[in-house]
Amino acid sequence: MSEVELYPGWVSLLGLGTIPHADILEYTGLDLLQRIIDGKYPAPPISFQLNFALTEVSEGRAVFRGVPNERHLNPLGSVHGGWAATLLDSALGCAVQTLLEKGEASTTAEFKVNLTRPITPKTGEVVCEGKVIHKGRTLAVSEATLKDASGKLLAFGTETCSIFPAANLAAR
């Protein structure tokens, strides 16, 4: 199954790209992420490279779906742990993003991943759900699970994000 068959339209007519920094001043974090889902922003390049997409958001929660394939294999033939870690980091960080006000940004300060089962291209679609367990003024902590279609736990993780004014984002 190809990326396009799995997620028709997720690489929008806008192609691949990132959220304009000016929009962080106009929209809440939840609004920004919903705009990605709605195709108002281009798909993030990482989602295309690793075959996953943001599919749901609500306050304190973000869900990604993805399908590992042969491009994600390590030398021994299973899906590289970095694929699962990147999917978890995305759900963990976006869960925090959903709680940010206009003008706030965040970045991962630390994260930990536990891999509980092997992932292969035969695993099929996986679901990664991140939830915020604490949000303060300058730090937030989230947790996420990565499960296969039958609900078996493949990996889980936790993350601490730093929260700061969007004006402090590196210029591009």
Query: What does the alpha-carbon distance between residue 45 and residue 27 come to, in Å, rounded to a whole number?
Result: 21
Query: What does the alpha-carbon distance between residue 120 and residue 118 come to, in Å, rounded to a whole number?
Result: 7
Q: How far is CA 131 from CA 33, 59, 95, 142, in A?
A: 15, 9, 5, 5
- The first and second tokens of residue 117, run together, are 């089962």
Angle between helices 29-37 and 81-97 (to 10 degrees): 130
The number of domains in the chain is: 1
Question: At 131, which CATH number?
Answer: 3.10.129.10
Instruction: Note down the domain range covering 37.
Output: 4-168
Q: What is the pLDDT along the chain (172 residues), one digit of tens a residue?
A: 344 334 444 455 568 899 999 999 999 999 999 999 999 998 899 998 899 999 999 999 999 999 999 999 999 999 999 999 999 999 999 999 999 999 999 999 999 999 999 999 999 999 999 999 999 999 999 999 999 999 999 999 999 999 999 988 876 5
